[in-house]
Structure 1
Amino acid sequence: MQDVDALVKRIRLGEDATLEFKQVLLDGDKVIGPKRNAFADELAGFANTRGGTVLLGVDDKSHAITGIPIEKLDAVESWVQEICNDTVKPPLDALIRKIYLPGPGGDDVPIIRVDLSRSLFVHKSPGGYFRRVGSAKREMGTDVLARLLQERSQSRVIRFDESPVSKASPDCLDDGLVRRFLRHDAVVDLAMLRKLRVVADDENGAPWATVGGILLCTHTPEQWLPQARIQAVSYAGTRRDINYQLDARDCGGPLDQQVIEALHFACRNMRVAASKGLARLDRPQFSERALFEALVNAVAHRDYSMAGARIRFHLFQDRVELHVPGALANTLTPDSMELRQYSRNELIVSLLTRCQVPDQSDGARSHMMERRGDGVPIILNDSRQLSGHTPEYTVIDESELRLIIWAAQHEGER
C-alpha cells in the first residue's frame, strides 16, 4: 500500500527524468496510441540514460489515472514486449507489470508499469539514439553519442565481465557457488565479493553483481543475461534440418555446469564404434577431450555483450559445429590461435581456472581452465589424430567464430 501511495503522489507531481505517462488508445485489441515508434524512442531514451518508469494508463497532460480495460491488458502487454524485443536494437530488458491504482472515481483501475534500468548497451530506436533529459526525450548529438558509445563500449569490450548489472543485487549470488573461489575459512561479505570482482559499484556507489559474478555464482544467470546459454542440437544427417533433429537441449546454469551439460549431451548422442580384434577398442566420433576444451573456450571467450546471441553446439553425422558469438579479440586470427592467446573476459577466465571439474576419472584436467594456452592445440591435435582432418576455425561477418570438428569415419561410412 505504501508503494501505491508513493506512486500516486509522484503522478500528481507530473513527469520527470525517471517517470513518463502514456494514455492508451485502443481499436479492438490494437494499440493506436501511443505510436509504436515514438514509444520505442521513449523506452530507449530511459535505457540509454539512468533508467526510469513508464506508466501506461495515465494521461500525460492531466495526470489522471485513466487505466486500461482489464480485458485488454494482455494485448497491451504483448505490444510492449514486441517493441522491447523487435523495435529497439539491441533488445531492451524491461520489467512489465500489471498493477492497480485509484482512478478518478476512487475505484481501482488497472494500468501497466514498465520499469527500465540503466542499460549496459547503447540502444537505437526508430528515431535514432535518444536519452532522457528532464521530462522529455532528446536525440543525442554526435558528441554525446560518441562519449556514451565510448563509455559503454569500454565496459563491454575491455572489462565487460566486471561491469555491474542493474537489478542484480549482491543477494542473488549463491553462497555455495561463491565459496568455490575462496579459502575454506574466508568470510563471504560485501568487501570479499568486491575483492573477488563478482560485485562492483555503479556510478552512484550502489553495489550490484557483475556479469562474471552472475555467470558463475548464480544458478540462473539467464534471468539477467538471457543470452548466456548453450543451445545443443543433434541431427541425424549432415544438414541443419528440423525434420532430422534427434535431440535438443538448452544448457543453462553457471558456466561450468553449461560445459558439463553440453559435453554429456554430445557423449549421449555421438556414435562409438568398436574395433575387431583380441581386445575391444572403442573409437568415438569425436574426441571428448577436444569437445571439452572447445566448450570451455566458448563460454570463457564469447562476447557476452551481444544480446540475443547464444553459443550454438550442433552435432551432425560428419561433424560438430560450434558457433561462438563475437569476433576474435584483439589481433588474433584463426591461423594464430594455436600459437597465441588473448582473453576477452579476464574475470571469467580467472574464475574458471579455480573451478573444479566434477569428474577427473578419465585423467582429464582438474580445473575448467589452465592458463598455459593448451586448449586450441588439444582441440587441433586430438581431433586430427582421431579423424585425420584438421578442425577449421572461421570468423563469420566479424561477429561470430565458428569451429568445425570433423567426425571419425567408421567402417561402412567411407
Structure 2
Amino acid sequence: MKINKIYADVLAEDMDNEYKSVLNPDNPVKWAKTLIGYANGKGGILFVGVSNEGEAFGISLDEIDKTKLLIAKVNDRYIFPHIKIGYMMRSVDEDAERFVLAVHVTPSDSIIRWREGDFNETVYIKGDGYSTPATPEEIISLSKKKYGVDNETSDIYYSEQVWTEYIELCKEYRKDKSAPSLKELQNEEAVSKEGLAKSGLIMFKDGYSGDDSLICCRLWKGKNKTGTVLDSGRFKGSLANVFRYTMNFIERNTKTGWQKTINGGREEIRSYPKEAVREALVNAIAHRDYSIAGTQIDVDIYNDRIEIVSPGSWLLPMSYEEYPVGSIPSIRRNSIIAACLDVANLMERGGTGFQTMMRSYADCEESLQPVVTIYPGFLNLRLFDKLYNKDFITPDFEQLSDKEKIIALLSQDGPKPVKELQKFVNHKNRSSFLREVINPLIEAELIYRDGNPKSPTSLIKIKK
C-alpha cells in the first residue's frame, strides 16, 4: 500500500515529509537529525513504517511503543532544547495489526542542537528529503528567532514593576528578605547584559499566560485514584504564584498535630515536613520538561502519601536507586528557571534538595523514606505521611490563649482571613482583636498579612 492511500496529501519525501522503515537505536543521529531539522524549520512529519519508495508496510503496536520510547529517550538525552512531538498512527491492513506511525514535529522558537558530550554540538536544518549540519551563517539566521523554552534572550526588558510576584517570592524566602538586584539576575544569566529577560525568567513575570506553568492538584479520599476527589486546584500564571498556590493547597490538605516529649511537654509534628514538600515541589518546577506540549505537573494527595509527577525523563546515567543516599549529582534541565529559584533561596546549586528531603525523614523507618520512581517521559517523587496510622495529639484549643489559638489554627489549617480568625476565638470587636491579637503577632514576626489590610480577601499566614 502506498503512503498516499492513508495520507492523501503525502505524495513523496520533501521539505515537510520523510520516510523511515524503522528507527535504529544504535545510530540515533541518522534519524534524529530529521526531527531536529524540522524543529529548526517550519515543522514536519517523519513517517515510520514506510519504505524510501513510499510503500507503507507498517509496524506492530509493540514496535510503535518501542519507537515512541526510543524517541523520548533520544530527545531527552541528546536534543537540546527538547523538541515538541506529537504522534498519529493509521492502520495499513484490514485486521488493524500493522500501522504507520506519523511523528509530528512542532517548529521551535529556539535553536535545536544535537549534543554529544559537553563540547560537541551540531545544529541540523532540513533540506528537500535530507537533513544537513547548518553553516555558521545559517546558525546566525536561526539565532534571530525570538526565544525558546528556557535559555533564550527575549525582547522584553526586565523591570521590577512587572516582576512583582517573583520579587515577593524572593523577599519571602531570602534570609535578608531583600529583592534581587538587576546585577544579581545578570550574574545568574537570567537577564542579558542589555537588560533583556531570558525566557526562563519570563515564566516568573506577572501575568504570565503560558499553559506550561500549569500545576494540577487533587486531594483523594483513599490510597488511589479510584476514590472521590475531595479538593482540587488548577494553578496557572507566573511560576512564583503557581508555587505559592500549590504550597497552600498542600498545607491546607495535610495534617498538623502534637506529640508528647520525654519532658512531659509537647512538640508540633506534621504529616509532611515543610522542607521536604518545598524541596519536592521546587525540584519538579526546576527540572520538568517544558517542551512537552499538553502536560503539567500533577500533585496528588492520598491518605498515606503525596505524589508529585513531573514531565521529563531522568537525566543521570544511573537509576535513582544506584546512587548512595544523599549523593545524587546535580544536573539542571532548565538552567535559567533553576537560577531564578536559586536567587529566591529556594534551590541550591549543590544539588542538595534530595539530601534535605532525606534529612527531614531521618527519624522514620525505611518504608517511609522519600522515593523517586522513573517512568519513560516523567518522574514520580513520593513523600509519605509521617502521621498515617500514628497516635498524635490534636491541639487542645481551650487551654490556649487567643494568640496561641491563632498560631495553632494557622499551623493546622493554613492561611485564614481575619474575619474567620476573629470568629474562631470568639472575639466580638474587630478593632480590639486586631490591636490585641493580630498586630502583636505580626510585630513578633510570627504571622504576616498577604494582601491589602482593607480587603476582605487578604489572608493571615504563618511566617516561615
State TM-score, norm by structure 1. 0.53
CA 1:179–1:36 in structure 2 vs 1: closer, same or farther (change >3 Å)?
Answer: farther
How many pairs are equivalent? 275
Match of 1:220 among 183, 199, 207: 207
For the residue of structure 2 that corresponds to 1:385, the secondary structure is: coil
Counterpart in the other structure of 2:198: 210
CA distance in 2: counterparts of 1:273 and 1:184, whole angstroms: 34
Distance 1:143 1:248, change over 3 A: same
Change (3 A) 1:198 1:375: closer
1:285 corresponds in structure 2 to 271
* Equivalent AA in structure 1 for residue 224 of structure 2: R
Aligned residue among 342, 355, 369 for 1:353: 342
Unaligned runs of 5+ in 1: 1-34, 53-88, 91-118, 133-137, 202-206, 356-366
Residue pairs, 1:22-101, within 5 angstroms: 48=39
Aligned-residue offset at 1:273: 3.5
Distance in 2 (alpha carbons) for counterparts of 1:258 and 1:125: 29
User: Relative to structure 1, is the Cα distance of residues 142 and 220 closer, same or farther in structure 2, using a 3 angstrom cutoff?
Assistant: farther
**Cα distance 1:228–1:391, how it changes in 2: closer, same or farther (>3 A)?**
same
Q: Please state how far the C-alpha of 1:282 moved relative to its aligned partner.
A: 3.4
1:163-195 per-residue CA deviation (whole Å, 9 max, x = no partner) reads 356xx75489925467788x979679xxx9877
Q: Residue 162 and residue 332 in structure 1: after superposition, are their counterparts in 2 closer, same or farther (change >3 A)? A: farther
Q: CA deviation at 1:349?
A: 1.9
Deviation (angstroms), 1:310: 0.9
* Contact 1:353 1:370 (C-alpha < 8 Å) held by counterparts: yes
SS in 2 for 1:283: strand
Q: Bigger shift: 306-315 or 169-178?
A: 169-178
Residue type at the aligned position of 1:302: R
- With 293-302 and 207-216 compared, the bigger mean Cα shift is at 207-216
Within the alignment, does 1:401 sit opposite 2:379 as a pair?
yes
Residue identity in the other structure for 2:217: A
Instruction: Measure the CA separation in 2 of the matches of 1:186 and 1:275.
Output: 43
Three-state SS of the structure 2 residue aligned to 1:161 is coil
Indicate conservation of the 8 Å contact 1:387/1:406, yes or no: no
Identity, % of aligned pairs?
Answer: 20
Is 2:384 aligned against 1:391?
no
Q: Please name the residue that 2:54 is paired with.
A: none
Number of the residue aligned with 1:410: 389
Structure-1 separation of matches of 2:106 and 2:128:
6
Cα shift at 1:228: 1.6
1:380 pairs, out of 347, 358, 377, with 358
Structure 1 moving runs of 4+ over 3 Å: 35-39, 47-52, 119-132, 168-173, 175-181, 183-188, 192-201, 207-210, 273-278, 410-413
Q: Distance in 1 between matches of 2:190 and 2:8?
A: 37
Please tell me whether the aligned partners of residues 164 and 206 of structure 2 are also in contact (alpha carbons under 8 angstroms): no
Partner of 1:233: 218
SS of the counterpart of 1:220? coil
Q: CA deviation at 1:315?
A: 0.6
Q: Take 2:357 and 2:254, find their aligned partners in 1: how far apart are those partners?
A: 17
Q: CA RMSD in A?
A: 4.8
Relative to structure 1, the CA distance from residue 378 to residue 247 in structure 2 (aligned partners, 3 Å threshold; closer, same or farther) is same
Distance change >3 Å, CA 130–CA 374, structure 1 → 2: closer
